[in-house]
Amino acid sequence: MMRTALSTVLLDAPRAAAIWLGLLGVVTLAIAGLLLRPQLFRFDAGARIREAALPSRSERIELRRDQERWAEEVAVAASRAEATARHRREEWLTAQDEAEQSWRAYEAAEANVRRLSDAAAMPLPQTDRTPAEYADRERWLHRAALAAYWRRELSVEQLSDVFAHRGWDPRLHPVEQELVLRRAVRDHLFAQQRAAREREQLAWRAAELATAAARSLRAEAARALLPVVEEPDSVLPLTAPGAAEQTREIPAVVVGRAPAAAY
């Protein structure tokens, strides 16, 4: 019985030795790998977190496609906004020309008023004050007012006042009547000039807003072409080496207060 047990142990000894040698070889290889390339066995929590946070390759491709579609839509909107801005600028230039023309017309009307004021200050030629003379003066006033209206120097309300004799005296001397008419023309052209200047300012503000909108959309289109996410290799670590030590060494300074050495 003792011999049988001993023979069994002697037969299993080579197998056990082989198993132990195999385990020893595995341990030796693991230790050698750890000594030669320790980074393979290092646990990097930051890298694991970054890998978990970043999207997969298929997700990045899909995000990139969505981003390209969005960039294309924004580029189309930016092109339309630029066309609108050019149109608004043309409208502003047209309004500016109209304002300048209305100002020159007002200056000419003011010059006529001054000239006729000097003429009216001189002695007027005497005429017979007969019904026929008064009728001629009234016809002259009506023709002169109608001609000024067709030249857009009088408004339709002013022309109606002339024919209704509201504020107009057709019995005045033609020189005096022309002076009154020129003053009415000057007032009307001045009102037109103020309205044209207001339209020019509104057109300028509209052009500025359209230009700003086009610039903003163009910048958004440029930003839309940037990468959706950074590659894993380009992502900075969560905590830079030595950051904790630097934080302990450099004291925090309260914003708005000078250090004690400055006092």
Inside any domain, residue 131: yes
Inside any domain, residue 14: no
pLDDT at 47: 56
Checking if the pLDDT of 56 tops 70, the result is no
pLDDT at 218: 86
Checking if the pLDDT of 217 tops 80, the result is yes
pLDDT at 212: 92
Phi (first) and psi of residue 228, to 5 degrees:
-70, -50
Q: In angstroms, rounded to a whole number, what is the distance separating the alpha carbons of residues 50 and 238?
A: 9
Inside any domain, residue 250: no
Q: In angstroms, rounded to a whole number, what is the distance separating the alpha carbons of residues 263 and 258?
A: 8
Inside any domain, residue 33: no
CA-based diameter of the chain, in Å?
172
Q: Quick one: pLDDT band at residue 164, thresholds 50, 70, 90?
A: confident
pLDDT at 106: 92
Evaluate whether 77 touches 199 at the Cβ level (below 8 Å): no
E-strand stretches of 23-96 = none
Checking if the pLDDT of 219 tops 80, the result is yes
Structure tokens that stand for 243 in this block: 């950051």
What domain range includes position 202?
60-226
Considering the chain, what is the average pLDDT of its residues? 75
77 alpha-carbon distance from chain centroid: 13
Tell me: the pLDDT tens digits for 130-161?
Answer: 788 888 888 888 899 999 999 888 889 988 98
Tell me: the pLDDT tens digits for 16-50?
Answer: 667 767 777 777 876 776 666 655 555 555 555 65
In 10 A of CB 158, how many CB atoms?
20
Checking if the pLDDT of 14 tops 90, the result is no
pLDDT at 13: 62
The whole-number average pLDDT for the span 74-85 is: 88
Residue with token string 């009415």:
184
Q: In angstroms, rounded to a whole number, what is the distance separating the alpha carbons of residues 240 and 247?
A: 11
Tell me: the pLDDT tens digits for 177-203?
Answer: 888 899 999 999 999 999 999 999 999
Inside any domain, residue 198: yes
Checking if the pLDDT of 257 tops 70, the result is no
Q: What percent of the chain has pLDDT over 70?
A: 65
pLDDT at 252: 40
The per-residue b/e assignment along 65-103, b for 16 or more CB within 10 angstroms, e otherwise, is eeeeeebeebbebbeebbebbeebbebbeebbebbeebb
Inside any domain, residue 20: no
The whole-number average pLDDT for the span 42-63 is: 63
Inside any domain, residue 40: no
Inside any domain, residue 149: yes
Cα dihedral sign, 3-5-7-10 = negative
Ramachandran region of residue 122, left (φ > 0), alpha (ψ -120 to 50) or beta? beta
Checking if the pLDDT of 231 tops 50, the result is no
pLDDT at 249: 43
Q: How many domains does the chain have?
A: 1
pLDDT at 245: 43
Checking if the pLDDT of 235 tops 90, the result is no
Q: What percent of the chain has pLDDT over 90?
A: 25
Question: What radius of gyration, in Å, describes the C-alpha atoms of the chain?
Answer: 48
